[in-house]
Chains A and B, each alone.
Chain A
Amino acid sequence: AQRVTQPEKLLSVFKGAPVELKCNYSYSGSPELFWYVQYSRQRLQLLLRHISRESIKGFTADLNKGETSFHLKKPFAQEEDSAMYYCALDSGNTGKLIFGQGTTLQVKP
């Protein structure tokens, strides 16, 4: 079965500390993976996708097929990074997204 697991419901760090939000997936094919973010009182929006191999707002994520992971990392957290982060898998390249349960990132001053 296709599944996305985010083991942490809440991650709390101090400003300037490194951040790693964990995501593991199970999928039989070649996965397309994404990170979405929802800031307070804003819409859910795409943060980054693995096929682009880009860095957005200082965040990066590397697909590790051996560990079936797609962890989101940032070397120095900022207060404005506080938000809910969702890891998602595109099932069958249809755009149908399977989401993890989400991790709330809280960056303290």
Chain B
Amino acid sequence: GAGVSQSPSNKVTEKGKDVELRCDPISGHTALYWYRQSLGQGLEFLIYFQGNSAPDKSGLPSDRFSAERTGGSVSTLTIQRTQQEDSAVYLCASSLLPGGSYEQYFGPGTRLTVT
């Protein structure tokens, strides 16, 4: 079946512009996670959704970052006024339910480059 998909696969943007990153989870998965993979910082948790609610946003680096999920499915991560330090690979994962008992399936990532 179809796995987690993310779009775009690559995004190059100018400093100060806004970007939107999209994640389509596996159908029926209620939990959705966003992570960031960058040189020097490794893999960092950003936010997770249970349904359309975000019980934990603790990993969002600043108020320039926001995310939403609609219909218990697609999620969008928005970065406003991008900075060079936002350059990273943004990964999305989904699982049937939240919690360590449920395997997280990762998407291919969106590589964001801020020039």
Q: How many residues of A contact B (CB 8 A)?
A: 21
Interface residues on chain B, size class: 20 to 34
Say yes or no: A43-B103 contact (C-beta < 8 A), given A96-B45, A97-B33: no
**A101 & B42 in contact (Cβ 8 Å cutoff):** yes
Interface of B is mostly: strand
**A93 & B99 in contact (Cβ 8 Å cutoff):** yes
Closest to B95 in A: A95
**A86 & B98 in contact (Cβ 8 Å cutoff):** no
Question: A46 an interface residue at 8 Å Cβ cutoff?
Answer: yes
Say yes or no: A94-B48 contact (C-beta < 8 A), given A34-B100, A44-B91, A102-B42: yes
Q: Which residues of B contact A (CB under 8 A)?
A: 3, 31, 33, 35, 42-45, 48, 55-56, 59, 91, 93, 95, 98-109
Q: Which residues of A contact B (CB under 8 A)?
A: 32, 34, 43-46, 49, 51, 86, 88, 90, 93-102
